[in-house]
Each structure stands twice: as C-alpha cells, then as structure tokens.
Structure 1
Amino acid sequence: MDNIILYLLTIIQEQYNTICWLILFICRYIPLKQWAHDEIHSPKYQKFLTDKLPVIKPFIKQDWLLWNEYYRLRYGKAVKPVKTQNGKTRTVPEDTVCPLCGAPHEYLYDNSGGRGQFKCKICGQTFVNGEKVTTPLKLQCPYCGHALQPVKDRKHFRVHKCVNDNCSYYKRNLKKLPKKLPKSEYWKYKLRYLYREFSVNFFDMDLNQLPKWATSFKYKKNNAYIMGLCLTYRVNLKLSLRQTVQALKEIHGIEISHTMVNNYAKTAAVLIRPFVDSYDYNPSHELAADETYIKIKGVKSYVWLIMDAVSRSILGYQVSTSRDVGPCILTMRMAFDKFKEFPGKALKFIADGYSAYPLAAQQFKLEKDWDVFITQVIGLTNDDEVSKKFRPFKQLIERLNRTFKESYRITCGYGTEDGAVHSISLWVAYYNFLRPHEISGGKEPLNKVELLEGAGNMPGKWQLLIYLGQQTILKQQSEASICS
C-alpha cells in the first residue's frame, strides 16, 4: 500500500514539473491574446482609443538680461544682436518681443521666411507673433518627450500630435499593422500619440442657473390642483399635450388649452429641478453611465444619464445636440456633486466603449486632480473578463434608457432644446421621487421624502415637489447673497 502511494506522489510531482515547464514555454514563446475585445483592433474603432495625458510643462517667464549676463560670465562674451546678411532689411517688427525671456526685436530671427514664426537668439524659444505670442504651457509626448504639434482646430478643442518618427509609441503601433499593408492605407489606423486640448472650461459652467421668467406661478383661471392634474397625466401616465387636454375635459370637465399645459410643465420643471439636483442621495461608489438618442426638430440629439447602480437613482443627466465630451463632463460633474467627499480610486464608473468618458476622466484629473477610472464594457457579448464582471451594471443603465423611451415615444421628438431639457427634468423628478420602483416590489419610490408621503394623491405630490423646489431656490439665493 505504501509503495502505491509513493508511486502516485511521484507521478503527481512529474506532472507538476511538466505543467510548470509548459507555462514557462507559453509565456516566453507564444503571444497571448489581449483581454480587450477584438473590436478595438479594427481601424473603425481606433479613433475611440484615448491616450494617456501628456507631460505638461508650465510657461515660466524669464529675464533676457540675466540670460545675457550668464553667457558673458560663462563664455566671456554676451550674445550680440542678430545681423542681416547681404544688406537685407530685417523683417521682425520693432514691437515684437520674445514671450519667454522678453528679448527685444534685435535678438529675434525670422524663422520662417516671412510667414510669421520667430526664434529668440537668447533663449532659443520659437513663437508666432500676434494672438499666440504667449504660450501658457508646453505639451510633451509622455513616450519620447518630443514637443506636441497642433494639427487640427475643432469647435471646442485642439488636437496635438507627436510627429517624432523615433517615438516608441509610434514604432510599437507600426509593428502591429497587418503585414504587406501599403503606406497609402496607414491613415486608417491610429499610429501616433494624440492629445485633445479643450478651449472651453466645462468646470466653470453653472449647472443650476434659472431663467428669469421662472420665478412663480400666476393662476388667472385655474388653480394649483389643476396644475397637479396636468403633470400627473403628462408625466406619470405618459400622455401627450393634447391627450392631457382631452383627459381633463372628458374625466374632470376642465377646459384648458394644450399651450397652458405646456407652460405649466415648463415652469414646474424649472422650479423642481433645484430640489432634485441638490437632494442628498447618499450615493454608493458604483455608477453606471450611458447616452441614448432623441430627436429635436427632427435632428438626432442625445440624452446622457448616470445612475447609482445600488439605489438606482439618477444622479446626472444632460441634453445635447452633439455626442462629444462637453455634455459628458457636465453630466459627470452633476453626478459627482452628489458626493460629500469624492471617493477617488474606490469609485467604480461603468460605461460603454465611447471615448468621451476617458477624455472626461482626463479633464477631471487636470482640473480637480481626481482619479476617475472608467471601466468600459464593449460589445453585446461577454468575450472578455471585464464584460463578464461588469455586464450587470451595463444592463441596468440600458434598462433605464428603455424606461425613459417609454415616455419619450409619445412626443414624436421635441420642438426645442429647452423643451427637451424641461421634459427630461420632470421625468427624472418623477423617476427619483414619485414612481413606485421594482426594487421595493413596486410599492415605494426610490427616495422617500417625508413631506411627500403625507400627500393623499399624485397631484398633491406634484404640488409639494414644486414647494420643495421653491424652498431650495430661496435657500440657494440666500446663501449666494451671504457669500457676495
């Protein structure tokens, strides 16, 4: 019996040694597939990849006289003014000075043959006179240290590119190209390091600005209860404006125009929104984000939503006519403002594979020094470990999109961007505070407010929501007056 056990242990030890050798052989000679989804290697998805932040060097003003004195002490002679050759006149304007050291025009070269670029003989700085005479910072490639060159100007940002052919990032991407690919097809792939410098500061925008006309309700013919009925039929029961008018007439015998219903909904949205946006949701550290399509004046537009994956509350929402990083940053700002203290690396932020989310995370790092790690769930099938683990979060936000589309379909699109904002604001207020949610078995809303629980019916709850919004506005106004 002892011999059999000893024999089996010997076989197990030999198998273990064989397995270790095979693992070592595979790791050394056989390239393993990446965990990422195969779609990101296609040229169609190359533009969605986001590079890491560049090396940013601040622009520090210097004195050309100190530089010149240093040259005199070090080399025994100071730098002399630029001399013209063959009797040519100087093309550097007399009012031009170096933006780095302040050297006058006598020490400046015409570096581009009259095309506007100059070079300082004192410090070696190259610059363009005019609007770009001062450069606030210098961007360098994080892989090779080469200065980035601006190559494209867009509406809200400028694209900088590393043009160094010896850059390790560029060489590595060249090796990944398909074999025998002609150079005329290289443009389809992302080979060089790129960085987008945004010209609009999305962190200075006021998220809670009120229009001047939305200060109070004036009921000339109807009362607050009729306004509550209008909101109940319009938002809760997902009726159109004219269907709401028909329901009020045939059920309650109330004569009202669809224009008045629209005015009630628009003003209620503006008054309720401050309460919804400033409510203490006590969010968890798991957020899910996505964007969905709507129509404004027949043109494709977008709704951005961020929800708490634990409580299911909507923390951030925006409407935009373009699918770029600007509204993405504003939506993330709205969601992150709900945290009393930003969780940092403990935050799990799940989104799809769109590049706006990593770009927005970079801007939060630059502006707020917040580390926002985006987990991107790509594709519809679980082809990698990331998708398998975080697919439930993506399904939650997709289910939220479908819930929103149920109320959106009755509109056949929005007439104006403000109308879309007001409608979605009312829907978010209803979803967060009035709608019975499946998480409680369809009996209670997501967030309980003691004042709302005392209301006997839904029109009364809408009136109380407006009251809470008005109190929030008064509180914000008093705090602003104290600060000023």
Structure 2
Amino acid sequence: MCKSLNKISCPRCHSQNLYRFGKDKAGNQKYQCKDCRRQFTLEDCKGKKNRILRGYPRCPVCGSGTYLHHDYEYYSHYTCNSKKCGHSIYVAKPINIPSASCELINGKTDFKRMRFPLFLILTALNLYYLNASSTRRIAQFFKITYNVKVSHVTIASWCKKFAPIFLSIANKLTKNLDLSASDEWHADETVVFINGKKHYLWLIIDSENRMVLGFNLSPSRDASQAFALFKSASKFGCPSAIVTDRLGSYNLATKTIFNTSKHIKVQSFKDDISNNLIEAFNDTFKDWYKRKRGFKSFESANTLITMFIFHYNFLRPHYSLNNLIPVQVACILDDEKNINKYLLSA
C-alpha cells in the first residue's frame, strides 16, 4: 500500500486497507476499500473525517463497521459492511419490549394488621401451594388441629394478597445472582385456561439448580411474548445455551437477547439434549393447577402462579437435588432456617 494512503480511511467501515481505483468523471482520484469494497473519492469524505458510526456496533467477527439492515419494534438488525463476512448482529430495544406478567404484581407489601398470627397464614400457604390442599380442607385442618375457626374465603384471599411480599423477598435474595456459568436454560410454554379461554404460560428454568427464572402469562404465542420472557430472565446473565422446542417465536428472541448463547432446538425425544427438565416442571405445575379447575381472571392467575413459583424455588425440596431447595443449590441461602427467617421478618 502506498504511504500516502495511510491517512485515508474508508467512509463506511473506517478501514485503511485501500488501493487506488482509477478516477471519476471529474478527474478525482478514486479509492476502493479491500474489506467492504466501497468506492469513494476524497470529495466524498469531506466533513466525514471525524464521523462516528451512529452508535452502530462493530462486527464481532472481522471488526468492520456495520449498517442498519432492518429496524423493528423490539430489535435492530445490523449487517457487516464487509461482503466477505456479511455477519448479522441483532440488538434488542429493552425500552420497547413489554414487561413479562411476572413483573406486574401489585398489592399488600407486609403482614401488618392481620387478624390471625403469621405462622397460621404461612401454614395455610404451604398447605395450599406445596400440598395442593383446598381452602376448605385447610380451614378444616385449622379447626381440628388448632381449634381456630378460619373461613375458607379468608384463606383463599391469603393465597392471593401476599404475592407482592413474596415477590419482593425473591427479588431481594436474587438481586446479585449471576447464572452465566450455567450450561443450559430451558424454555417452554404450557396451556392454562382463564375463565374458559386458552392462555399460554411461558417458562424458563435453569438446568443446574432447577430454579424457575421467570414466567409470562399471555393469550398468544407470538414473538413479543418470547421477548418479554427472555428480557425478564436476562437479569440473571447469559447461559451457554438456550434449549427450546421448534416454535419460531423463540428464534429472534434468542438471537437478540442471548446473542452469545447457542440456541438448541429440540427435534425429538431421542436427541442428546432434550427439554424433559421443563416438561417435568410442567407436570408438577399441572398437578397443582388441575385441582383449581382453571382460573377466574388474568390477575388472579398471574398472582397464584407467582406464589406457586416462589414456593417451588424457595420452599419445595427436590428429589433430583438430593432433597435440597433450588436456592440452596444456587448458594443464595444456606438452609431452611434462613429462609424462614426472611419470611418471618417480612
């Protein structure tokens, strides 16, 4: 390369790997970039010497600049300027991505001014979510065991109204949790009925500690719901791989939000890596859900599912984890005494 070309850079990718490419009609010297094949003259570069790439990312493969290929509602698609490379980059727009339903919980944030003692309320919640007991059977249990008369309607309200408290406890304990070292996160969706209408419960779970990292309840299975689910789980890091079924809604969401993770699409049960882990959770959830005979409203369903997942992550021992709780495997809490301490101090 001629020394006089050292101070000249390509106006598209800023590469200095250039060579002279004849002259234009006005007699100006033309240059061509060896990386992106852009042809230009010095007249074209006037006023662009200090040009910034408009905030566009550089290609992680060859280091060249990129151009905006498509701009969508939830993400932007950039393509490498180098024709030899042509690598695609997907950048999410977190502000535009809707929030998952697990983040839309509002209500009472403490146990103050309750008529009944706290241990009675926690016992009722454990019986309802861990043992799948009905509210009438729990009321009967309190009458026989403690000689305390509690209406089944009161117990039903307990199962819903304290969801914000448990959600705040979960957020506080997992605030600094980083699961980027995990091999796989599994994502799937299952059907629930709300007031007789079909809805989809999207779930994502860590393969190593069995923690449910997020959920999203929606009436459809389009890509926006997958974006919402992955956005809520991205606060825990970026795993080595995302395992899903062949639903097309996961494709762009995985490329955009978990762009460094390998996307594994399960083809059949004979594959080396399957989605049996989250299917097992779906069986556990459905065993509890079918006893409720569906949900009456979206808000009620969202609240009850939040409480169920809290008990699954923080209170339920798992046989596959040697009877440990997922938060113990994730090293968030050492033992059950610490968990009960957080509940009693809420």
**Corresponding residue to 2:119 among 225, 237, 241:** 225
1:467 is displaced (CA, Å) by 5.0
Q: Deviations over 1:415-442 (max 9, x none)?
A: 111211221111111111211111343x
Does residue 249 (structure 1) correspond to residue 129 (structure 2)? The answer is no
Name structure 1 gaps, 5 residues minimum: 1-73, 75-147, 150-155, 158-196, 456-460, 471-484
Q: Which structure has the highest strand share of the two? A: 2
Q: Give, in angstroms, the shift of residue 203 of structure 1.
A: 6.0
Secondary structure of 1:301 counterpart: strand
Is residue 453 from structure 1 mapped to residue 337 from structure 2 by the alignment?
Answer: yes
Aligned equivalent of 2:184, options 265, 269, 286: 286
In structure 1, how many angstroms separate the alpha carbons of the residues matched to 2:335 and 2:212?
21
Q: Give the counterpart of 2:257 among 346, 350, 364.
A: 364
| 1:204 Cα offset (Å) | 7.0
Change (3 A) 1:338 1:450: same
User: Do 1:361 and 1:371's aligned partners in 2 also have CA atoms closer than 8 Å?
Assistant: no
Counterparts of 1:410 and 1:439, CA distance in 2: 24
Once residues 101 and 325 of structure 2 are traced to their aligned partners in structure 1, the CA distance between those partners, rounded to angstroms, is 29
Structure possessing the higher radius of gyration over alpha carbons = 1
Q: Distance in 2 between matches of 1:205 and 1:419?
A: 15
Asked whether the equivalents of residues 452 and 465 of structure 1 are also in contact (C-alpha less than 8 Å), the reply is no
Partner of 2:196: 298
d(CA) in 1 for partners of 2:224, 2:344: 32
2:97 to 179, 182, 202: 202
From 115, 127, 132, the equivalent of 1:238 is 132
Equivalent pairs, count: 260
* Matched-pair identity in %: 24
Once the two structures are superposed, residues 87-124 of structure 1 have per-residue CA deviations (whole angstroms, 9 ceiling, x without a partner) of xxxxxxxxxxxxxxxxxxxxxxxxxxxxxxxxxxxxxx
1:251 CA drift (Å): 3.1
Which residue does the alignment assign to 1:399?
Answer: 280
Measured after TM superposition, the shift of residue 238 of structure 1 is: 0.6
Cα 1:324–1:253 shift into 2, 3 Å = farther
Q: Give the whole-Å Cα distance in 1 for the aligned partners of 2:293 and 2:342.
A: 27
> Which residues of 2 match residues 74-85 of structure 1 at below 5 A?
none
Identify the residue that residue 324 of structure 2 maps to in structure 1.
444
Shift of 1:354: 0.5
User: Contact conserved, 1:361 with 1:374, CA < 8 A, in 2?
Assistant: yes
- Which residue in 1 is equivalent to 2:83? none
Q: What is the one-letter code of the residue matched to 1:453? A: K
CA distance in structure 1 between the partners assigned to 2:245 and 2:289 by the alignment:
22
Q: 2:101 touches 2:216 (CA, 8 Å); kept in 1? A: no
Provide the residue aligned with 1:9 in structure 2: none
Q: CA deviation at 1:331?
A: 1.8
Distance 1:450 1:375, change over 3 A: closer
**Equivalence for 1:478:** none
Determine if the alignment matches structure 1 residue 412 to structure 2 residue 293. yes
Q: Give SS of 1:311's match.
A: coil
Root mean square deviation of aligned Cα: 3.7
Give the direction of change, closer, same or farther, for the CA distance of 1:315–1:326 in structure 2 (3 Å limit): same
Cα offset for 1:334?
Answer: 2.3
Contact 2:206 2:213 in 1 (8 A): yes
Q: Trace 1:285-434 onto structure 2 (pairs within 5 A).
A: 285-339=183-237, 342=238, 347-364=240-257, 370-379=259-268, 381-382=269-270, 387=271, 389-391=272-274, 394-434=275-315
Name the CA distance, whole Å, in 2 between partners of 1:302 and 1:294: 6
TM-score by length of structure 1 reads: 0.47
Deviations 1:357-396 (A, max 9, x none): 102124437xxxx3343211124x43xxxx2x212xx111
TM-score (norm 2): 0.64
Q: Secondary structure at the match of 2:273?
A: helix
